[in-house]
Amino acid sequence: MPYVGRFAPSPTGPLHVGSLVAALASWLDARRAGGRWLLRMEDLDTPRVIPGAADAILRQLDAFGLGWDGEVLWQSARREAYEAALRALAPHSYPCACTRRELEDSALALDGARIYPGTCRHGIPAGKSKRAAGRTAFAVRVRSCEAPIRFSDRVQGELVQSVAREVGDFVLRRADGLIAYQLAVVVDDGEQGVTDVVRGADLLDSTARQIHLQRLLGLPTPRYLHVPVAVNAAGEKLSKQTRAPDATPSDMARALHFLGMTPPDGAAPSELLPWAIGAWDPARIRAARTSPMPV
């Protein structure tokens, strides 16, 4: 199949150098393969969306020379597609009446992760039913699979995860009505015909959940490539919370170094991308969850 990649930022602020790394890796992989590179705004989590952030991201990508193919897809305009997927998943899902406090109190712990114990899997328990009777909305969870899910990552290698044991039944739609990331990304990748997902390794643990949903919905599973997450000298992920500055074209060389490439000395930012397409080689990327960003 012809290569189709995508970059899917959340408009919670402008791109910083860490998010530039993910965008650049995805763009280079698509262009090296002679494929298409799509842009999707993951603006479903409306409480976290910052006004003007999406426009800022578009301007930054344009300034970097990272042009996209076709029109931008906005998740906020795709509610009907997600609701259709929820209906298709009805045989495999159920309403959950657990409150946030109840989840915190009852969740199982495994290696620091909190796992949903399946409280409402076989129906809302009697102890919750009276309190839940006055509610009009519940979260919707999908039943996780017992069999381990195995997949091959082009950088991280062969991976396996038991969603049932390591995650539990996960949320498809929150109690406040917001569609969960895991469902939206699977529906969008399937509709856009995405063949290759290149993104940060902070999303590596989401991959098995997404493959589970792809199988339930009869959608193809794309190839995956997870690049390390850029961290600062203190080992903190570059983000707005750690005060990472907005990325500028002058950061392009740093991002390329992070991805295992050595740009020619003295090359102008406009000269780096044509060179980088020919030099792109995922085998040079470190198989790690995080990696310090070059100064």
The domains of the chain, with CATH numbers, are 4-81+181-292 (3.40.50.620)
In angstroms, rounded to a whole number, what is the distance separating the alpha carbons of residues 8 and 227? 15
Give the pLDDT confidence score for residue 132 in this predicted structure. 56
Share of the chain above pLDDT 70, in %: 93
Give the pLDDT confidence score for residue 146 in this predicted structure. 87
Give the pLDDT confidence score for residue 28 in this predicted structure. 98
Confidence class for position 143, pLDDT limits 50, 70, 90:
very high
156-194 pLDDT, tens digit each: 999 999 999 999 999 999 999 999 999 999 999 999 999
Question: What is the token pair recorded at 1?
Answer: 């199949």
Confidence class for position 10, pLDDT limits 50, 70, 90:
very high
Q: Which residue has the tokens 């890796």?
A: 25
pLDDT beyond 90 at 283: yes
Q: What is the mean pLDDT of residues 27-44?
A: 98
Give the pLDDT confidence score for residue 105 in this predicted structure. 64
Question: Who has greater pLDDT, 134 or 70?
Answer: 70
pLDDT beyond 80 at 209: yes
pLDDT beyond 90 at 136: no
Give the pLDDT confidence score for residue 134 in this predicted structure. 56
Q: What is the mean pLDDT of residues 231-257?
A: 86
248 CA to centre of own chain: 23
Confidence class for position 243, pLDDT limits 50, 70, 90:
confident
Residue 61, SS3 per DSSP? helix
Share of the chain above pLDDT 90, in %: 75
Report DSSP state, residue 267: -
Among 45, 4, 46, residue whose Cα is nearest residue 27:
4
Give the pLDDT confidence score for residue 239 in this predicted structure. 78
Mean residue pLDDT across the chain: 91
How far CA 1 is from CA of 5, 83, 223, 226, in Å, comes to 12, 28, 12, 21
Give the pLDDT confidence score for residue 5 in this predicted structure. 98
Give the pLDDT confidence score for residue 102 in this predicted structure. 74
Q: At 225, phi and psi to the nearest 5?
A: -145, 115
Q: What is the mean pLDDT of residues 53-64?
A: 96
pLDDT beyond 90 at 130: no
Q: What is the mean pLDDT of residues 19-38?
A: 97
In angstroms, rounded to a whole number, what is the distance separating the alpha carbons of residues 186 and 208? 11
Confidence class for position 6, pLDDT limits 50, 70, 90:
very high
Q: What is the mean pLDDT of residues 19-32?
A: 97
Give the pLDDT confidence score for residue 292 in this predicted structure. 92
Give the pLDDT confidence score for residue 131 in this predicted structure. 56
Give the pLDDT confidence score for residue 93 in this predicted structure. 97
Question: What is the token pair recorded at 253?
Answer: 């060389």
